[in-house]
Structure 1
Amino acid sequence: MATLPDACVSSSSTDPASLPGTPTHYGSTTLSMKTAGPKCKLINEGDIQVCRLNHTRTIVSKIMNSKYLRRWESHHIVLGHNVIRSQTPTGFMEISVPYSSIEDVHVVSRWDAGQKFCIRITIQDGSLLLQANNSYLRDQWLYSVQWKRHMYKYEKLLKNARRPEVLVKEIKGMIDVSLGTPIQDASVYQFPLDLVSELLQQNADVITKLAHENIIVALTPLLENNHPTQEICDFFSKHCKNSPRSSIVIELFTPVVHRILKHNMDFGKYPRMRLFVQEYIQALNCQNDGIRVVNTFVKSMHGAGSSCPHPRVLPNIVAVCLAAIYNCYEDKKTAMQNNLDRSFDHVEWKTRLMCYGAILETASEYEDWRCVLGSLLQPIPFPDDAIADQDFTSSMKPVIGNIAKDSNCDVHQTVLGIREGKEGWFHLYCPGGIACDDEGELWGIMLATLIRCCCRRKKFLIGMTKMIGPVMLLALRDTVSAMEVLCAMLEFEILESQDMKMQLITTLQSTSDGKKMYAALCDRQIALRELQQKGGPKKLTLPSKSTDTDLSKMLNSGSFGNLECLSLAFTQVTSACAHDLIKLPSLRYLNLWSTQFGDGGLQLLSEHLHKLQVLNLCETPVTDKGLSSLAALKNLRKLNLNSTSLSALTFEGLKEKLPSLQECDVRYTDAW
């Protein structure tokens, strides 16, 4: 092969303008690059100076190719899939340059004081010189041409490879190039993944087990920052299913699954990715002490801190579990329909099912996950066969128990139905319910949390009248929370039937604790009647430092049956004082300006103070959750919601539902 005269082109090794530490020569079979050093963006097209030289040995040719007579042309060069071409195919670029004809690509040194930055592309009948404006742009073109050429070569080699060992070798070589190139672009990793995906589909029948494992090992570095394609997910799933105890599952698949669970946004678009995670979890479950291994994996996904730094982890884990549980029951149903009951492995099936129950249980142990977990499970998103299966409902009891015991209202309220008229876990585990197998123990735990926190309200108690039988049964068995419910029903006069009231009283008096609670209720009722007797002031204003305790002491000190106007503005009262405020039968004006009165108290007031006409909630921490309950106060004429978290939508709803409302201050809110 003829070469350019020394006066024209010299070796890149003597180029002082080349980047330090960055190799500049691309051989015919290997790409010598270091991962350290400057990075470049991939160039697909751009404007650059082009010169084409012929490699002939005649004196005339050498003279014409010398630097003094060399002619440069401006072209918009496109680095295509197969060729290098110009958008204006004229002059030097009239004929495109196929990557298959390129023998070498490297940097050339500057040859005059102009310090031109060039790369040389050696082809069969000469050379193509590309001249950039600076060294960085030159290196971008250099590495981009090298990358395009290399991917073309590997694509051709791999698509023609038939022997597994050759396939594995070339895949490793291609991935080494991807990891070593200074080019930073998504395609640097995505192109090899897509190409391997296509090859796996075409050669699925000829890939041996050893080649299978070697390909997985080779692919792993590419997946550190990229999701596997759908075909690669199938490939990985097959390995998890066929070789669950392989070291590859733990060592190589774990980082891949971690990335999927941390960053995936929609398993609906990538169902095979979800299936791969399912098979990976089942492979973990096949290890010695599998449930412990699976739980350790879930804990590693959460992290050692008190809160998980990745918000997508829990929804993705739950999505995998829900789909897997659904698949379990579909598999069982299919086996029964096809009369395959004898060949169906019930033990293996139950092991799979319990695995996902254990995952949900472990997730429910983390306080920061419970709110989201409760919300995701609140609609009971399981097939009817699962709800009717005692093994499944028993496995869910620890999960629901952890949610029910949480002191956060937003968490433990998720055991109730997702909307009015829709049953939830609370109804499912009710004594006599389809899932109750513990004589109401779990239901009693749920009932205790609800009645002692946010559900000691008329709305909840009215709903409990449908479950009055189980409540009375637990009260007879000395369940304190059930006794509290019965007392609350009597106190708020939930039941109209005198016979039913007598049954409740009889039930309470059947146990020693019940007798004490009923006696305390009677004392409160006597005090309430004294409080509500006519007399006392019509207007009352508490000092600015007053607390809930101060208000309670004052209201228990005499009769306040005439109290119509109460100002608690700028005091330190909270929602807890609502239990005292609802005892004031004549209250029409209530000022809570700049207090810590919140949504819970507002919901309670809305159920009892139906005579209220004026309410001031300016600068209180109430939100739409509590403000929406004001729709029950039909006599409300004036309402001050200045500087609250009122939304425009809630405000429009209140205006429609409060016919007597004449004045409403919504300044400094979203509805303003």
Structure 2
Amino acid sequence: MNFVLLMFSVDVTEHAYYAKGSSPECCADSSGSKNNNAAGVPVPPPGPRYKLATEGNLRVCCFQHTRTVVDKILGAKFFRRWETHILCLLEDHVVSKTPSGLLERPLSYSCMQEVYCISRWDPARKYCLRIVMPHGSLLLQANDAYTRDQWYYSIVWRRNMIRYRNFLTKSVRKEVVLKELKNMVDFVMTTPLQDETVTRAPLQILTDLLSENKDGRDWEEWAENVTSAAAPLLAERCVTGELCALLARLCRRRPRSAPLPALAPPVRRILTRNVDFAKALTDRQFVRDYISALSAHNSGQSLVRRFVQVTHGSGAACPHPRAAPNLASVALAAIDDRYRDQRSPHRCDDSEHDVLCFADILEHMCEYDDWLIVVGGVLQPVPLSAGAMSCPRVAARLGGALARLARDPRCAAHARVAAAGAARPCPPSWLRAAAPAAPALALPHDRLCRLWGDMLKSLLNCCCKRKSFLQSMSKHLPDFVLVALTEHPAALEALCLMLEWEVASGEQTQLEIIAALQGTELGQRYYKDLCERQQRLQKLQAQGGPRRLALPVRATDADVAALLDAGALGNLECLSLAFTSVTSACAHHLIKLPSLRYLNLWATKFGDSGVQLIAEHLPRLQVLNLCETPVSDKGIEALSGLSSLRRLNLNSTKLSAEAFEVLRKRLPQLQEYDIRYTEAW
């Protein structure tokens, strides 16, 4: 049977009361309301948030009487017929799953003239919702105010989305479409509904608008107007892949007039939330085209720099862990696409301007300490083609990024310029790519030598294995010589260490190093100091002196140095520095004791760098006590090179269970060990 409707007679005053009420008890259709915050952007009204209703139990009341009779019925609280229905909100209409009753036919959203909540009539029948139809009205009653409001906002959402979709896709006058688009954006931004459907539907309408007449002459102007009108929506919603492609097309075709302020929020959202650009190629292309549009302006360089700054945030650390790798990958992909198939020799031209902004991004990212490590990780090993590095303008920007990596004191940063095998030809490290003897990076010679020397300085001063590193770089002696001739201290120090530690083999090689040291005034001073150290070393390692020695508690690194300079200690086998104030700095003196077999460093400040140096230069060490020292896994793992080690005390250190298992496998001759009060215990 047909459902029966009740038509209410509502005067103008009462209707205005319903429309202007702000409490949940008398909500109006929010399609025409605009709640603006301090920035002028529409925001939802204060109060609870709702999921889009799809199905639920509600009581339904339908009447078919004249307005006069209805007013009398309501005033007298006349008995009304209510039925319980399982209502479903579909895309185009409302249906009831109840087999029989008042709602046998679907109720179309397009037939609804008005929807609002009722609070002033019949307190016994509260939580009611009124739907005005052409020939009457329908009452829906919920169990509580929250459910009533949820259904109210859901019905209004379905009804308005159908109206906006039909109007925006069928209207011809563009000014009318833009005005209605702004109304839709205001409605979407002010609804308290929070649901995936609520997010997806308006973006699909926006996508359909931008897809119309894409090959027309005025599409760019139309797309600019539509994007500007939908700016609040783009600022709060995640755009889809199809919409990304359309916005990227707008940036490519009209870079200088694209509405960049409206496109900035979705671009930053892609960078901060996307986890895999390989599966979202349109997103990556959109970010790339947006950056190109920024750089196309007269103040493009400052705009790109500001973009990086805003993406990072004002804090010391970026709150979005995905932003840095995503932005770096976009920049590297753009540079590689431009120079991948370029033939040498390189010739600079104006077409490179479009890609230089991406090299600027890499350099700007290195200005932030937390992003510096991320960029270094992306650049290791060298990810760029030979054509990109042979471009002087790209190389100049890469040189700035590498200089920051080289000067950073953190191992996680400067270690990125040299891979584990720094001298390996493929894939190369930046230390090899910037080698002055045969550089792949097109930088001026003096800057190249300074950059290579800075890399070398950080790697020699960090807590890595210095002797092993110099041995791996022994084939790059011409690079050391070229940089040493510019009087770079790191190269001069490295050449002296090659001679002192006998890394350079062969008389001819040693003569080349000596000639390079004596070629400059600063190098001569370094060589003079080396000769004096060698004389003291020969005196120290001469036969004689005690076999056992223990320093007092107040001993420091300076006392250790003075003791070793006092006389011959060639026979010293047992040295105790327990409970003294020595640090890793004294390791440079301890490695000069050739007969040392027992070393006690209990309760000292001896750290990882000192342990690694000892492990490199004292391979005959048999007993080592590191109890209550600040050593960690980084230094302890270096002990695996002490094949003669028999006894090891790691009590109360930062030893982990994983590191100890690795150490036991690599030291099968280890007989006694103490790992109490560690994670491996």
TM-score (norm 2): 0.86
CA contact (8 A) 1:636 1:660 kept: yes
Matched, 1:121 2:131: yes
CA contact (8 A) 1:79 1:85 kept: yes
Deviations 1:513-563 (A, max 9, x none): 333222211221222233334444444444445433333333333333343
Task: Report the CA distance shift for 1:578/1:646 in structure 2 as closer, same or farther (over 3 A).
Answer: same
Q: Percent identity?
A: 41
CA contact (8 A) 1:430 1:436 kept: no
CA distance in 1, matches of 2:18, 2:485: 94
CA contact (8 A) 1:606 1:632 kept: yes
1:428 pairs, out of 385, 409, 433, with 433
Matched, 1:284 2:289: no
Residue in 1 that maps onto 2:482? 473
The two structures, once aligned, show a CA RMSD in angstroms of 3.5
Where 1:561 maps in the other structure, the secondary structure is coil
Task: Report the CA distance shift for 1:115/1:72 in structure 2 as closer, same or farther (over 3 A).
Answer: closer
CA distance in 2, matches of 1:454, 1:125: 85
CA distance in 2, matches of 1:185, 1:64: 39
Where 2:504 maps in the other structure, the secondary structure is coil
Letter paired with 1:215: V
Residue in 1 that maps onto 2:40? none
Shift of 1:490: 0.9
CA distance in 1, matches of 2:53, 2:500: 78
Residue in 2 that maps onto 1:329? 339
Map 1:148-159 onto structure 2 (within 5 A). Answer: 148-159=158-169
Deviations 1:80-99 (A, max 9, x none): 22222345454344433232
Residue in 2 that maps onto 1:354? 356
Task: Report the CA distance shift for 1:19/1:640 in structure 2 as closer, same or farther (over 3 A).
Answer: farther
CA contact (8 A) 1:106 1:120 kept: yes
Where 2:277 maps in the other structure, the secondary structure is coil
Residue in 2 that maps onto 1:230? 241
Deviations 1:7-42 (A, max 9, x none): 9xx967668997538862339xx4446443324212
CA distance in 1, matches of 2:291, 2:25: 43
Task: Report the CA distance shift for 1:604/1:150 in structure 2 as closer, same or farther (over 3 A).
Answer: same
Task: Report the CA distance shift for 1:59/1:246 in structure 2 as closer, same or farther (over 3 A).
Answer: closer
Deviations 1:271-308 (A, max 9, x none): 22222222222222222243233233333434555544
Map 1:207-606 onto structure 2 (within 5 A). Answer: 208-246=219-257, 248-249=259-260, 251-303=261-313, 306-330=316-340, 347-417=349-419, 419=421, 421=424, 422-433=427-438, 434-435=440-441, 437-439=443-445, 440-454=449-463, 457-606=466-615
Shift of 1:396: 1.8
CA distance in 2, matches of 1:608, 1:346: 50
Deviations 1:304-324 (A, max 9, x none): 555444443332321121111
* Residue range with higher mean Cα deviation, 56-65 or 37-46: 56-65
CA distance in 1, matches of 2:490, 2:623: 36
TM-score (norm 1): 0.87
Structure 2 stretches of 5 or more lacking a match?
A: 36-43
CA contact (8 A) 2:8 2:67 kept: no
Where 2:381 maps in the other structure, the secondary structure is coil
**Alignment length (residue pairs):** 656
* Residue range with higher mean Cα deviation, 267-276 or 39-48: 39-48
CA contact (8 A) 1:50 1:92 kept: no
Letter paired with 1:212: A
Task: Report the CA distance shift for 1:596/1:313 in structure 2 as closer, same or farther (over 3 A).
Answer: farther
CA contact (8 A) 2:272 2:320 kept: yes
Deviations 1:389-442 (A, max 9, x none): 454334422221222222333322211125563521111111232335433343
Task: Report the CA distance shift for 1:90/1:319 in structure 2 as closer, same or farther (over 3 A).
Answer: farther
CA distance in 2, matches of 1:198, 1:664: 72
CA contact (8 A) 1:328 1:349 kept: no
Map 1:22-101 onto structure 2 (within 5 A). Answer: 24-26=27-29, 30-32=31-33, 34=35, 35-57=44-66, 68-101=78-111
CA distance in 2, matches of 1:59, 1:507: 111
CA distance in 2, matches of 1:5, 1:511: 102
CA distance in 2, matches of 1:183, 1:101: 23
2:626 pairs, out of 617, 621, 628, with 617
Where 1:328 maps in the other structure, the secondary structure is helix
CA contact (8 A) 1:404 1:412 kept: yes
Map 1:107-118 onto structure 2 (within 5 A). Answer: 107-109=117-119, 111-114=121-124, 116-118=126-128
Shift of 1:613: 2.4
Letter paired with 2:198: V
Map 1:175-214 onto structure 2 (within 5 A). Answer: 175-205=185-215, 208-214=219-225
CA distance in 1, matches of 2:135, 2:372: 70
CA distance in 2, matches of 1:489, 1:176: 72
Deviations 1:619-647 (A, max 9, x none): 44333333322221112223333444444
Residue in 2 that maps onto 1:339? none
CA distance in 2, matches of 1:567, 1:67: 101
Letter paired with 1:150: N
Task: Report the CA distance shift for 1:591/1:31 in structure 2 as closer, same or farther (over 3 A).
Answer: farther
Task: Report the CA distance shift for 1:52/1:647 in structure 2 as closer, same or farther (over 3 A).
Answer: same
CA contact (8 A) 1:447 1:482 kept: yes
CA distance in 2, matches of 1:88, 1:668: 70
CA distance in 2, matches of 1:21, 1:155: 28
Residue in 1 that maps onto 2:39? none
Letter paired with 2:50: K
Letter paired with 1:409: C
* Residue range with higher mean Cα deviation, 351-360 or 641-650: 641-650
* Residue range with higher mean Cα deviation, 615-624 or 18-27: 18-27
CA distance in 2, matches of 1:160, 1:419: 65
Where 1:25 maps in the other structure, the secondary structure is coil
1:20 pairs, out of 4, 23, 31, with 23
Shift of 1:482: 2.3
CA contact (8 A) 1:415 1:426 kept: yes
Letter paired with 1:20: S
Letter paired with 1:222: L
* Residue range with higher mean Cα deviation, 302-311 or 194-203: 302-311
CA contact (8 A) 1:42 1:140 kept: yes
Task: Report the CA distance shift for 1:95/1:665 in structure 2 as closer, same or farther (over 3 A).
Answer: farther
CA contact (8 A) 1:12 1:108 kept: no
CA distance in 2, matches of 1:203, 1:67: 58
CA distance in 2, matches of 1:11, 1:545: 92
CA contact (8 A) 1:110 1:117 kept: no
Letter paired with 2:223: H
